A and B are shown apart, each in its own frame.
Chain A
Amino acid sequence: MALLEIQDLHASVDGHEILKGVNLTVNAGEVHSIMGPNGSGKSTLAAVLARRETYEVTGGRVLFDGKDLLEMKPEDAAREGVFLAFQYPVEIPGIGNAYFLRSALNAIRKHRGEDELDAMDFLPVYKEQMKLLEMDEKLMNRSVNEGFSGGEKKRNEILQMAVLQPKLAILDETDSGLDIDALRIVAQGVNAMRSPDRGFLVITHYQRLLDYIATDFVHVLVDGKIVRSGGPELALELEDKGYGSAEANVAAALPA
């Protein structure tokens, strides 16, 4: 059984159709990259999979681990093992980063029938991960993402992913706004998470991230549809020729 199976997915925002029939299958252990020009629907796809309610699904179906993902609320999807690393992590003043992360972990543990962790038990869970991500521990005592630098925010996303141990990790333009050092650290964090039980959906505009995260498959999303799929070499080709070539190929392949 595939980890994620997207069939003919259509979705709209404010009445505008953004996804126009996406088909994609991700198996556990695989890394899939979704590339495409701005406005092609990459972030919409990520948001729909994370069950953001401002995006309306107008057709198709999505199975996650055999269950109907589109029936789930965001918290249900998260508890089942879907994780979205946000392109723009949200600042939440007044809520401590450690408290937030522990609440999230406990919600998921409770769902799995595991004991909840108190603040003391939780400490070792994140400490090691922070070291790996070269994060300042002081960030845990601050409000969630408030006043964090761009790099700190993205690392905080990866930290959450590492602590929550999802089955499917969706990285929405995690590389955007990162300098090369931060990018390397973030990619390290992701690579450390790779496992035969876990799938990744890496959404990116640039090929650059894929220099650091080895991808198994590359899909090109244009105007709400996947127009080409291939191996890692496709990313290099796109880097060379731009998205125009992918679109042209589609146009050529379509019956007149």
Chain B
Amino acid sequence: MRNTSKESGREKEMSTVTGRPNTYLEAYGELIAHRRERDPVWLRQLRDDAWARFQDKGFPTTHDEDWRFTNLAAMAKIPFQRAVKGSVAVSAREIEGFRVPGAVCQLVFVNGHFAPQLSELSDLPKGLEICSLESAIDCGMVGAAPEGCASDGIEQHLGRYADIRRDVFTALNTALWEDGAYVRIRRGANLLQPIHLLYVSAGSGAEIMTHPRTLIVAEPTSHAAVIEDYVSLGSEAAFSNAVTELAAGQDAVVSHFLVERENLAAFNVSTLRLEQARGSNVSSHSILLGGGLVRNNVHPVLAGDGAECLINGLFVGAGTQHLDNYMLVEHAQPQCNSRQFYNGILDGSARGVFHGRIVVHKDAQKTDAKQTNRNLLLSDNARIDTKPQLEIYADDVKCTHGATIGQIEEEQLFYLRSRGIDEVSARNTLLYAFAAECLDRMQEPAAREFAEGLIRERIAELARSRRTIVLAAPVEEEVQSWEEVR
């Protein structure tokens, strides 16, 4: 499934190992030795429980309904190593091209470790507290606040939302996380520019695993945007297993952007768990352009009356990329709205998955949930599995979904070309129009512009990469009805 030459080498290397490599156990042992005295009791307990859970369950297989379309066997065999802090030197010049113009600040992590010398944290606006999660915990232990941050309140949130029992990757992250970002937006603060969290994988010869942990606390009536951005330096396979918990207080308005633009050998599993209080409004925008095997979990819980969430995404895959989107939208309280819009473009032998599950709890009357997944397949070997699921325990609800799979329309392509526009440009224009639908749903100008640049570049590559196959067949078909689960 990965880069073939690498794969064969790896197969040989691993032929004597049976089952799961013990590098996870080694990592846990090292981490415990390193962190034990510095972690507060509650966190030690949390890690121990999470580790026990991971030990017990192991990685899921395709027999697991939630992983039916994504085979982790190849990944599970790779002996990913924990990255020792400072073992790989990254210069400011190397990450220059990854900066987001117009960001209010930038936290940079290299192989999961905070890199203060690469980060940009000067002139923070009033109402924003941001620091590395490790330093917030450490300073909390010695009773001193780290610069720019208060560590109180972390215990109240960290690990309270992302459930180690529900998902083994969350368990693994909770056991093994070493650092990540801690962001607190104070009550009423209105941040106009986005916060940029840059997670860099820099293997330099080794296959590194990282488990970045991000906690974002948006206090009541605050307003902010956070960009979580995964990139690689070099071409090594790396495994990023990220968990982000975002707690939106009453009437808070928060936008979260996930950008996956790692190399094609990368494994990236990310989990965004949103906890939404009454009247809060959270948008999750996922832009998956890179990575070899990507699993994007988005799990909002609408836990207060009248909360709203928008789950917006674009995934673009080519070659042998595998991009799996797992949405779980939980309506726990009445009168909440959720909107899911995911567009996928798949070329080559790329494979995409959209799994959209909506759970409406007993008390969640007047729920209004909508889900749309549209896909373009650009080659005969590309594949999409789309699976809408509805689990419903209330009676007064409105849930709709629609999924389509189509190709570039020959008619549209011909129309553009008949006016003098060359084939590559015409193809680019049509693909971009489809991809750009997600941009219309982004409210923050700087983040939107950043996303637009990335999408434009990726689509242009795709448009150039091959001749269009002309399909006379019907271009769009409706697929699959709700699967009702109870």
Q: Which residues of A contact B (CB under 8 A)?
A: 14, 50-54, 73-75, 77-79, 83-84, 86, 89-90, 92-95, 100-101, 103-105, 107-108, 111, 144, 160, 164
CA distance A94 to B410 in the complex (A): 16
Q: B407 to chain A: closest CB distance in Å?
A: 14
Instruction: Tell me the bound Cα distance from A86 to B415 in angstroms.
Output: 9
What residues on B are CB-neighbors of A160 within 8 Å?
419
Q: Does B204 touch A at the CB level, under 8 Å?
A: no
Contact (A78, B410) CB under 8 Å given A93-B433, A95-B433: no
Interface centre among B418, B422, B425, B433 (most CB of A within 10 A): B418
Contact B437 A104 (CB under 8 A): no
Residues B387-425 near A (CB distance < 8 A): 409-412, 414-423, 425
B472 at the interface (CB under 8 A from A): yes
B436 interfacial contact with A, CB 8 Å = yes
Q: How close is A164's CB to chain B, nearest CB, in angstroms? A: 7
Nearest first, the 9 A-B pairs at minimum CB distance are: A94-B433, A104-B419, A78-B420, A74-B417, A107-B420, A90-B415, A108-B420, A75-B417, A75-B422
* Set B418, B425, B429, B433: member contacting A78, Cβ < 8 A: B418
- The answer, yes or no, to whether B139 is at the interface (CB within 8 Å) is no
Contact between chains at A94 and B417 (CB < 8 Å): no
Q: Which residue in A73, A95, A100, A111 is a CB contact (below 8 Å) of B417?
A: A73
CB < 8 Å: which of A54, A86, A94, A107 contacts B422? A107
8 Å CB contact of B421 from A50, A52, A54, A75 = A75
**Chain A positions within 8 Å of B429 at CB level:** 95, 100, 103
Smallest beta-carbon distance A180→chain B, Å: 27
Measured CB to CB, the nearest residue on chain A to B414 is A52
Give the docked Cα–Cα distance between A134 and B143 (Å).
Answer: 75
Residues of A within 8 A of B410 (CB): 54
Cα distance A199–B142 in the bound complex, in angstroms = 87
Report whether A79 and B420 are in contact in the complex, using a CB–CB cutoff of 8 Å: yes
Q: Is the CB of B417 within 8 A of A164?
A: no
Contacts of A74 on B, CB cut-off 8 Å?
414, 417-418
Q: Are B433 and A92 in contact (CB under 8 A)?
A: yes
Checking B421, B423, B437, B470 against A103 with a beta-carbon cut-off of 8 angstroms, the contacting residue is B421
| CB-based contact A104/B420 at 8 Å | yes
Q: Given the complex, which residues of A lie within 8 Å of B67, measured CB to CB?
A: none
Q: Which residues of A contact B59 (CB under 8 A)?
A: none
Query: Is B430 on the interface with A (CB-CB < 8 A)?
Result: yes
Q: Give the residues in chain B near A90, CB-CB below 8 Å.
A: 409, 411-412, 414-415
Instruction: Give Cα A104 to B417, complex, Å.
Output: 9
Closest residue of chain A to B435, judged by CB? A94
Complex Cα–Cα for A194 and B415 (A):
24
A78 to B425 CA separation, bound complex (whole angstroms) = 15
Extra contacts, 18 of them, besides A74-B414, A92-B415, A94-B433 (Cβ < 8 A), are A14-B472, A54-B414, A54-B472, A73-B417, A74-B417, A75-B421, A78-B417, A83-B418, A90-B414, A92-B430, A92-B433, A94-B437, A95-B433, A104-B416, A105-B420, A107-B420, A107-B421, A107-B422
Complex CA gap A86/B437 in Å reads 27
Provide the bound-state CA to CA distance between A46 and B464, in Å: 29
For the complex, is B434 an interface residue (Cβ under 8 Å from A)? yes
In the bound complex, residues from chain B placing their C-beta under 8 Å from that of A100 are 416, 419, 429
* Pair B414/A53 contact, Cβ less than 8 Å: yes
**Taking the nearest CB of chain A, how far is it from the CB of B466, in angstroms?**
16
Q: Residues of B contacting A54 with CB < 8 Å?
A: 410, 414, 470, 472
CB contacts (< 8 Å) of A73 on chain B: these are 417, 423
Tell me, rounded to whole Å, the shortest Cβ–Cβ distance linking A156 to chain B: 11
CB distance from A33 to the nearest CB of B (A): 21
A42 to B430 CA separation, bound complex (whole angstroms): 29
Give CA–CA (A144, B426) in the complex, Å: 13
User: Could you say which of B411, B415, B472 has the most chain A C-beta atoms within 10 Å of its C-beta?
Assistant: B415
Q: Using Cβ atoms and an 8 Å threshold, which residues of chain B touch A95?
A: 429-430, 433
| Bound Cα distance A46, B433 (Å) | 28
Flag B457-477 by CB within 8 Å of A: 1 or 0 each: 000000000000010100000
List of B residues within 8 angstroms of A92 by Cβ: 412, 415-416, 430, 433
Of the candidates A53, A111, A164, the one whose C-beta lies within 8 Å of that of B419 is A164
Q: How far is the CA of A92 from the CA of B411 in the complex (A)?
A: 10
Q: What is the CA–CA distance of A100 and B437 in the complex, to the nearest angstrom?
A: 17
Q: Known: A54-B472, A94-B436, A103-B425. Contact between A111 and B415, CB under 8 A? A: no
The answer on a CB contact under 8 Å between B412 and A75 is no
A92-B412, A92-B415 known; A53 vs B470 contact (CB < 8 Å): yes
Note all chain A residues with C-beta closer than 8 A to B409.
90
* Cβ contacts under 8 Å, A14 to chain B: 472
A107 CA / B421 CA spacing, docked (Å): 6
Determine the chain B residues whose CB is within 8 A of the CB of A164 once the complex forms.
419-420
Question: B433's closest neighbor in chain A, by CB?
Answer: A94
| Minimum Cβ distance to chain A for residue B451 (Å) | 16
Q: How far in angstroms is the closest Cβ of chain A from B406? A: 12
CA gap between A50 and B418 in the complex, in Å: 7
- From the candidates B423, B436, B470, name the one contacting A75 in the complex (CB within 8 A): B423
Query: Known: A92-B433, A94-B437. Contact between A75 and B420, CB under 8 A?
Result: yes
Distance in angstroms between the alpha carbons of A79 and B425 in the assembled complex: 15
Task: Give chain A nearest CB distance to B441 CB in angstroms.
Answer: 13
Scan residues 41-95 of chain B and give those whose CB is less than 8 A from a CB of chain A.
Answer: none
Across the interface, which residues of B come within 8 angstroms of A89, CB to CB?
415
Give Cα distance in the complex from A77 to B422, angstroms: 11
**What are 6 A-B contacts defined by CB distance under 8 Å?**
A50-B418, A73-B423, A79-B420, A94-B436, A101-B419, A107-B425
Q: Which residue of B lies closest to A53 (CB)?
A: B470
Question: Hey, which chain B residues are within 8 Å of A107, CB to CB?
Answer: 419-422, 425
Task: Give every chain A residue within 8 A of B417 (Cβ-Cβ).
Answer: 73-75, 78
Q: Which residues of A contact B434 (CB under 8 A)?
A: 94
A111 contact set on B, CB distance < 8 A:
420
CB distance from A223 to the nearest CB of B (A): 23
A101 to B420, CA, bound (A): 10
A104 surroundings in chain B (CB, below 8 A): 416, 419-421
Contact residues in A for B418 (Cβ distance below 8 Å): 50-52, 74-75, 77-78, 83-84, 86
Which of B412, B414, B423, B432: most chain A CB closer than 10 A? B414
Cα A93 to Cα B435 in complex, Å, equals 12
Q: Which of A75, A79, A100, A103 has the most CB of B within 10 A?
A: A75
